[in-house]
């Protein structure tokens, strides 16, 4: 009788899954498809270091900007990249049996308007020859 409860608890824990999910949007709120999401296990931040640390993940967001991955509980470094946008990097904690939501907003890289001018919604700037 006393051994049955811990066994049932252990079996139930074995069914738990941990995951990371989120949506990547631009500063206007539009979903960003094809953004790159890199997920790296943080061995230093996770308790009890692991010799069998999970492999790094390379994800691509879907048409609605969504991404998800099943992960082992612990701490992860998550970096998001998209063409013409400043990257976003953060540390994320994945808890046992939970889905961690990590929605991200990316800002336009300041180098883009500096290099090409702000031509969104306007005709390109034309400068007279000197």
Kindly report whether the global pTM for this prediction surpasses the value 0.85: no
pLDDT tens, N- to C-terminus, the chain (130 residues): 455 555 444 444 455 689 999 999 999 999 999 999 999 998 775 555 555 667 899 999 999 999 999 998 999 999 999 999 999 999 999 999 999 999 999 999 888 777 776 655 444 444 455 4
At 102 the three-state DSSP class reads: coil
Own/partner long-range contacts of 37-40 (Cβ < 8 Å, ≥24 apart) = 37/61, 37/67, 37/78, 37/79, 37/80, 38/78, 38/79, 38/80, 38/81, 39/69, 39/71, 39/76, 39/77, 39/78, 40/76, 40/77, 40/78, 40/79
d(Cα 111, Cα 77) in Å, to the nearest integer? Answer: 25
Alpha-helical regions (H) of the chain:
4-15, 111-116
Domains for the chain: give ranges and CATH numbers: 16-116 (2.60.40.1120)
């Amino acid at each position: 009788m006393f051994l049955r409860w811990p066994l049932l608890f252990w079996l139930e824990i074995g069914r738990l899954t941990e995951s990371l999910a989120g949506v990547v949007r631009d500063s206007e709120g539009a979903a960003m498809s094809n953004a790159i999401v890199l997920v790296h296990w943080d061995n230093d931040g996770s308790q009890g270091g692991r010799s069998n640390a999970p492999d790094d993940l390379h994800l691509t967001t879907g048409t609605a900007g969504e991404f998800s991955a099943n992960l082992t509980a612990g701490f992860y470094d998550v970096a998001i990249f998209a063409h013409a946008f400043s990257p976003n990097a953060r540390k994320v904690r994945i808890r046992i049996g939970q889905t961690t939501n990590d929605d991200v907003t990316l800002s336009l890289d300041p180098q883009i308007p500096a290099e090409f001018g702000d031509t969104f919604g306007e005709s390109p700037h034309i400068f007279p020859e000197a």
